[in-house]
Structure 1
Amino acid sequence: MPLPNDEKVVALANDLLQMFDQLFGLHPGFRAAHAKGLMLTGSFTPSARARSLTRAAHIQRDSTPVTVRFSNSTGLPQIPDNVGDANPRGLAIRFHLAEHVHTDIVSHSTNGFPTRDGYEFLDFLRAAAASGPDVPSPKPIEQFLGTHPAALAFVQAPKPFPASLARETYYAVTAFAFTNAEGHTRYGRYIITPGQGNEYLTPEQVAAIGENYHYDELAQRVASQPIRFHLRVQLAEPGDAVDDATLHWPESREVLDLGMLELTAVLPDSLAQQKQIIFDPIPRLDGIEPSADPLLELRAAIYLLSGRRRRSA
């Protein structure tokens, strides 16, 4: 996983990392964002229709081993599971294709992203950092949201507390180009839906749960039964924007079932493995290519820079 050749992208990635540090503090050995998490292992089995969309290696096999990481939002490793800032939750998936060969999906539980590109996102974080409780209104973040409707929509989107991280839906941020064996390409966005359906807690239930409720529940759940997710792709139609993560496609767009994720155990050395693994939002394999979304190269750079720092801690 190389750093982008574009020096501006790398500089912007470093600026964003510094903003995360300013917002959440330095926590050596942990991610700058989505710091609290748990890793599980399992397998992916493609559906009968998956090959009609892509010739990617993990779609051509009967099954592929996977490692997944569930996470809370923010760069706080000890953030309680029962506070609003823990949402949206994250789900990253690694498909192990061969020794040192893999492809990843990085997703979170709110559909979309607050800004079109990294420069807007940096402005968003700076506005948030400058808007403490003692700052009079209109605070910088209020001014930013007042002039950036996509960010306002993302912030205002419902972010309910899942009854379990295994009962939540997750969305990959950007679109990808899927190409099948015949060379036909369609753009799509991943949607990862729970096999048992969505279930959310009431405010009263949230107030009663413990600070590590979701991860304790996840470990207990997978110890008693496999956790299953459907890996799906919402397919774009001609005219749909495929390079802007702030824009939602109509719900009427076809959703193709790529296959089933089945998680069977917590990784025994989860904390150590979380420190080492660096997920990559760019697929980097034949059959699934990145779109022109400007967030992709930037996110890859941030994950790599943050990962190198984490490993050296």
Structure 2
Amino acid sequence: MTMKQSSPLSRLLRFALVGGIPILLAILFLWAGGWLSPQRLTAGKLVDTLQSGPGEKPGFRRNHAKGLCVIGEFDANGNASVLSKAALFAPGKTPVTGRFAIAGGNPDAPDFAVPIRSMALAFTSPSGQQWRTGMNAMPFFPLPTPEAFYEQLVASKPDPATGKPDPQKMQAFVAKYPAVKVFGAWAQKYVPSGSWAVDRYNSLNAFNFIDKNGQSHLVRWSMVPQQAWQPISESDHQNKDFLQQDLVKRLAQGPLKWDLIVTVAQAGDASNDASKLWPADRQTINAGTLMLNSTVPQEGGPCNNINYDPLILPDGIAASDDPLLNARSAAYAKSYNRRTQEEAHQAPGEHL
């Protein structure tokens, strides 16, 4: 009788049943990490591809490497309490440790060369619960899935011979993911601002707010600036650190403020696709005011060793089914582990 050959995974699972639960858990961990399925997209593969552009920059984030720490507080007005039982939405103030950054893995990149900026915040309630959120100054994400984002990174990788992406690879990518054309159309019309302080930062991903009755409400949120918008100037193009210098100057004159605006979805609005905008007529709630009071360099600053994982959520906020959330969380963790290990091996006083 001919025996049907079993797969490596099934043989390992049978062995785990004999060897006990710890081995089974190890196998599941290895599978989740992609070791038993090399073709699968993993956090390590995604981070490797991100850092392949600028090259290794020990001690820095693999994306949004150039940034600045900020300190402040969130003053909730209680309006969002009808949607979420999270303590930070009850009237009162919550300390915030944040970070402004520009996209990309090069900590020495000129501010004017990278039009997409980010705001990351960690809210810490008196009970110790945290809400961490990373937002971007663009209205939607270019692509719907981690796999599509990874393929974009690969397709846009510069050809060593020309120093530019291969046009045929990019054309094939756009043909496979035509949704990216929508983002391209927005990017062509986008005018970068002259300050981190005047940008609107959006969650992009959807989340669920859970109210005191256990009801779930699908939402997105934005930090909307109270400071008047201004475009990037000609002089800004001559200063590689104009964003950081501008923020330091502004905060020396007084606090900077944003309104936390929560947008509530209606039936049919996408919960799992950050590349799709919700209609502009959706209900919005002003949940309170973010006030930033001071800034600190990220090297040695309080934000430097915070992993702004979007899935670190307090009771009252839960993840949606957006696949980008798990991918972001895993990639952030991988990047955090790498850079903190690199920092541990740097000589005292060595620049991060």
TM-score strictly above 0.5: yes
Please say if residues 236 and 253 of structure 1, whose CA atoms lie closer than 8 Å, have aligned partners that are also in contact.
yes
The answer for the alignment partner of 2:140 in structure 1 is 112
The answer for the alignment partner of 2:80 in structure 1 is 50
Comparing 211-220 and 109-118, the one that deviates more = 109-118
1:124 aligns with 2:152: yes
Give the C-alpha shift of residue 9 in structure 1. 7.4
The answer for the alignment partner of 1:76 in structure 2 is 106
- State the secondary structure of the residue aligned to 1:92: strand
1:146 aligns with 2:175: yes
| Separation (CA, whole Å) in 1 of partners of 2:183 and 2:73 | 32
- State the secondary structure of the residue aligned to 2:224: strand
The answer for the alignment partner of 1:249 in structure 2 is 278
| Separation (CA, whole Å) in 2 of partners of 1:153 and 1:147 | 14
- State the secondary structure of the residue aligned to 1:107: strand
- State the secondary structure of the residue aligned to 1:220: helix
1:179 aligns with 2:198: no
Match of 1:230 among 246, 259, 270: 259
Give the C-alpha shift of residue 135 in structure 1. 6.3
Give the C-alpha shift of residue 87 in structure 1. 2.0
1:214 aligns with 2:239: no
| Separation (CA, whole Å) in 1 of partners of 2:225 and 2:167 | 40
The answer for the alignment partner of 1:15 in structure 2 is 45
Mark the runs of 5 or more structure 1 residues left unpaired by the alignment: none
Give the C-alpha shift of residue 74 in structure 1. 0.6
| Separation (CA, whole Å) in 2 of partners of 1:245 and 1:14 | 22
- State the secondary structure of the residue aligned to 1:79: coil
Please say if residues 41 and 263 of structure 1, whose CA atoms lie closer than 8 Å, have aligned partners that are also in contact.
yes
- State the secondary structure of the residue aligned to 1:263: strand
Please say if residues 275 and 307 of structure 1, whose CA atoms lie closer than 8 Å, have aligned partners that are also in contact.
no
Could you report, residue by residue, the CA deviation over 1:234-270 in whole angstroms, capped at 9, with x for unpaired residues?
Answer: 1100111111111111111112111100000113x63
Could you report, residue by residue, the CA deviation over 1:71-100 in whole angstroms, capped at 9, with x for unpaired residues?
Answer: 0111000110121xx121010010012486
The answer for the alignment partner of 1:64 in structure 2 is 94
Comparing 69-78 and 131-140, the one that deviates more = 131-140
Comparing 64-73 and 100-109, the one that deviates more = 100-109
Comparing 274-283 and 135-144, the one that deviates more = 135-144
| Separation (CA, whole Å) in 2 of partners of 1:9 and 1:255 | 40
Report the AA paired with residue 215 of structure 2.
H
| Separation (CA, whole Å) in 2 of partners of 1:178 and 1:93 | 18
Residues 37, 225 of structure 1: alpha-carbon distance in 2 compared, 3 angstrom cutoff: same
Report the AA paired with residue 294 of structure 1.
P
The answer for the alignment partner of 2:195 in structure 1 is 164
- State the secondary structure of the residue aligned to 1:232: strand
Give the C-alpha shift of residue 217 in structure 1. 0.6
Residues 136, 263 of structure 1: alpha-carbon distance in 2 compared, 3 angstrom cutoff: closer
Please say if residues 61 and 336 of structure 2, whose CA atoms lie closer than 8 Å, have aligned partners that are also in contact.
yes
The answer for the alignment partner of 2:232 in structure 1 is 201
Q: TM-score, normalised by structure 2?
A: 0.81
| Separation (CA, whole Å) in 2 of partners of 1:92 and 1:191 | 12
The answer for the alignment partner of 1:87 in structure 2 is 115
| Separation (CA, whole Å) in 2 of partners of 1:24 and 1:100 | 37
Report the AA paired with residue 133 of structure 2.
I
The answer for the alignment partner of 1:190 in structure 2 is 221
Comparing 86-95 and 275-284, the one that deviates more = 275-284
The answer for the alignment partner of 1:28 in structure 2 is 58
Identity %: 29
- State the secondary structure of the residue aligned to 1:70: strand
| Separation (CA, whole Å) in 2 of partners of 1:152 and 1:23 | 23
Please say if residues 9 and 298 of structure 1, whose CA atoms lie closer than 8 Å, have aligned partners that are also in contact.
no
Give the C-alpha shift of residue 142 in structure 1. 3.0
| Separation (CA, whole Å) in 1 of partners of 2:255 and 2:339 | 31
Give the C-alpha shift of residue 292 in structure 1. 0.5
Give the C-alpha shift of residue 127 in structure 1. 0.1
> Which runs of structure 2 are paired with 1:262-301 in the superposition (5 Å)?
262-267=291-296, 270-273=298-301, 274-301=303-330
| Separation (CA, whole Å) in 2 of partners of 1:135 and 1:210 | 25
> What's the Cα RMSD here?
2.2
- State the secondary structure of the residue aligned to 2:144: coil
Give the C-alpha shift of residue 198 in structure 1. 2.6
| Separation (CA, whole Å) in 1 of partners of 2:100 and 2:184 | 21
Mark the runs of 5 or more structure 2 residues left unpaired by the alignment: 1-27, 36-40, 343-352
Query: Aligned pairs, how many?
Result: 305
